[in-house]
């Protein structure tokens, strides 16, 4: 784990499965490994939120990562710009407090390494989000990127556990 980059956060994890299976666990099973609760789900006060990737057949403009709620509403975290199964995934990332046009980006790569896969997640674009933005929780750059690095590390541990069970 590298707590701070020039413009983002990096989390690296090794999983004992193939790149293709790791990609499936990361995408198809995202709601199974993504933690619950207000710290990890964007729909504050909406119990039962489910994260999933909508496929291109369901949307004219391609895949998207969404959080769906039992009341039938949903929130689009971002559109997928790269979908290379077993290799790479790039998706826009926004939360409800972002203004129109505010967006960060998450890139995840999957590379065979030894008997498993090295999964590298980079969440970049934070330099475009103003320092006093609510998403930064009042934290200066270094403490904010450190906090986000811990947040992603917590999530990727859940991913590793699921990917290695599959």
Domain membership flag for residue 151: yes
* Residues contacting 108, CB < 8 A, separation 6+: 26, 88, 89, 90, 119, 120, 121, 122
Q: Could you list the beta-strand ranges (E) of 28-156.
A: 50-54, 64-68, 74-84, 88-93, 104-113, 116-124
Quote the percentage of the chain above a pLDDT of 70.
89
Q: Which residue has the higher pLDDT, 155 or 63?
A: 155
Q: According to the model, what pLDDT value does residue 59 have?
A: 45
The predicted-structure confidence for 72-115, as pLDDT tens digits, reads as follows: 888 899 999 999 999 999 999 998 889 988 999 999 999 999 99
Domain membership flag for residue 3: no
Domain membership flag for residue 41: yes
Q: According to the model, what pLDDT value does residue 40 have?
A: 79
Question: Any bridge partners for residue 117, and if so which?
Answer: 15, 112
Domain membership flag for residue 67: yes
- To the nearest whole number, what is the mean pLDDT of the chain? 86
The predicted-structure confidence for 41-83, as pLDDT tens digits, reads as follows: 776 667 788 899 887 544 445 689 999 988 888 889 999 999 9
User: What does the alpha-carbon distance between residue 91 and residue 63 come to, in Å, rounded to a whole number?
Assistant: 9
In residues, how long is the chain? Answer: 166
Domain membership flag for residue 97: yes
Domain membership flag for residue 88: yes
pTM of the model as a whole? 0.89
Q: According to the model, what pLDDT value does residue 6 have?
A: 54
Q: According to the model, what pLDDT value does residue 5 have?
A: 38
Name the pLDDT band for 16 (thresholds 50, 70, 90): very high
Domain membership flag for residue 127: yes
Look up the domain containing 88 and give its range: 8-165
Angle between helices 141-165 and 19-27 (to 10 degrees): 110
Domain membership flag for residue 2: no
**Signed CA dihedral, 158, 161, 165, 166: sign only:** positive
Rounded mean pLDDT, 29-47: 80
User: What does the alpha-carbon distance between residue 157 and residue 95 come to, in Å, rounded to a whole number?
Assistant: 22
Name the pLDDT band for 128 (thresholds 50, 70, 90): confident
Decide if 149 contacts 1 (C-beta within 8 A): yes
> What is the CATH number for 74?
3.30.530.20
Q: Which residue has the higher pLDDT, 119 or 148?
A: 119
If one counts the domains in the chain, the total is: 1
């Amino acid at each position: 784990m590298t707590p701070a980059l020039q413009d983002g956060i990096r989390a690296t994890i090794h999983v004992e499965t193939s790149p293709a299976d790791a990609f499936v666990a990361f995408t198809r099973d995202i709601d199974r490994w993504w933690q619950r609760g207000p710290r990890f789900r964007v729909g504050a006060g909406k119990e039962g939120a489910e994260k999933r990737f909508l496929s291109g057949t369901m949307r004219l403009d391609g895949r998207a990562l969404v959080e769906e709620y039992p009341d039938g509403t949903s929130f689009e975290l971002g559109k997928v710009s790269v979908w290379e199964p077993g290799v790479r995934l790039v998706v826009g990332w926004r939360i409800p407090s972002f203004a129109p046009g505010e967006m960060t980006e998450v890139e995840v790569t999957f590379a065979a390494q030894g008997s498993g896969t090295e999964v590298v997640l980079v969440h970049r674009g934070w330099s475009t989000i103003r320092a006093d933005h609510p998403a930064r929780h009042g934290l200066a750059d270094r403490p904010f990127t450190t906090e986000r690095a811990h947040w992603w590390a917590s999530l990727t541990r859940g991913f590793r556990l699921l990917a290695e069970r599959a």
